Amino acid sequence: MAAEKTQNHLTMPEVVEELKRMTDIGFPIVAMGLVGYLKNMISVVCMGRLGSLELAGGALAIGFTNITGYSVLSGLAMGMEPLCSQAFGSRNLNIVSLTLQRTILMLLLASLPIGLLWFNLETLMLRLHQNPDITHIASLYCQCAIPDLIANSLLHPLRIYLRSKGTTWPLMWCTSLAILFHLPITIFLAFTLCLGVPGVAVSISITNFNTLFFLLGYIFYTRTTKEPLCTPLVSQPMPLSSTTSLGEEWGMLLRLAIPSCLAVCLEWWWYEFMTLLAGYLYKPQVALATSAIVIQTTSLMYTFPSALSGSISPP
């Protein structure tokens, strides 16, 4: 009985080893979150340098894109995390590959209506009686940010893929390398070429695509033949039993993705709705500009809890 009771408790070396492993996984995620925060802050500062109207329009656009786009993609992508973690734990790499490809396809399909909504932002916001000048700036930002949906549809699954694998240091280095180019790209587009707020939106898309290319380069350079990334989504010929199995696999992914999406959206929306509501205040230009600064500043405190939760996901 005493021996059985002893086995139920971790020894100090085991606790230390687990803490080391969590630190090894969590520290790069914290650093990546800080780097991502720096990217957003650079964009807000540059829009502030353009003027209060530009900052207000950018704040409205950021709030709208977070509510209708980025929160949805982030939430849907989280559905693959438990599947990938379990598949990596059981060394079923074909399931990992299929889950990765299906999630990317799902996010790309979800991006179609989101992109259409972003393209028609000005019409929608005017119907909601937002300030016309601010709305025009916001619509320019959203239209130029549409390509970023493609980048995020690929980035989110790849990040989860590497995090589930326990490979978080490359995430940090690839993100940091892309951010090094973000400031000069933003300055060049927004100020040198005088593109203004659209230039800021384009620079964010370019930075995310740079991160994507760096991650893809790392994955293809380091992967082995035992880690397939391009397992066929549909095998030919396909009997009825395979069709049923395929439907069950998609259903499992959707059953995880949809609740995750709802959870993330509810978490993001209550925060971003305040930005949209600021547009109805007495001086919407000042209110929206202030909300952009406040939200970017307070978002820093979410970096560490998010990193800690991410460090316990890998198998």
Q: Please, what is the Cα angle at 198 between 209 and 178, to 5 degrees? A: 25
Residue 4 has pLDDT above 50, yes or no: no
Arithmetic mean of pLDDT, 170-189: 92
Arithmetic mean of pLDDT, 182-209: 94
Could you tell me which residue, 200 or 237, shows the higher pLDDT? Answer: 200
Residue given tokens 């991650």 in the structure block: 215
| Whole-angstrom distance, CA of residue 175 vs CA of residue 31 | 9
Round the CA-based radius of gyration of the chain to a whole number and report it: 22
For the chain, the first-to-last Cα distance in angstroms comes to 30
| Whole-angstrom distance, CA of residue 208 vs CA of residue 202 | 10
Residue 122 has pLDDT above 80, yes or no: yes
Q: Please, what is the Cα angle at 59 between 58 and 63, to 5 degrees? A: 115
Nearest residue to 141 (alpha-carbon basis) of 104, 189, 181: 189
Could you tell me which residue, 168 or 258, shows the higher pLDDT? Answer: 258
Nearest residue to 187 (alpha-carbon basis) of 84, 40, 47: 47
pTM: 0.84
- Pair of tokens at residue 206: 């370019």
Q: Which pLDDT score, from 0 to 100, does residue 89 have?
A: 74
Q: Which pLDDT score, from 0 to 100, does residue 76 have?
A: 93
Q: Which pLDDT score, from 0 to 100, does residue 185 have?
A: 95
- Pair of tokens at residue 88: 């990596």
7-11, 31-35, 108-112, 185-189: least confidently modelled range: 7-11
Could you tell me which residue, 266 or 157, shows the higher pLDDT? Answer: 157
Q: Which pLDDT score, from 0 to 100, does residue 231 have?
A: 53
Q: Which pLDDT score, from 0 to 100, does residue 7 have?
A: 53
266 burial via Cβ count (<10 Å: 0-12, 13-18, 19+): exposed
Q: Which pLDDT score, from 0 to 100, does residue 87 have?
A: 81
57-61, 86-90, 135-139, 150-154: least confidently modelled range: 86-90
Contact of 204 with 145, CB cutoff 8 Å:
yes
What does pLDDT average to over the chain?
82
Residue 44 has pLDDT above 60, yes or no: yes
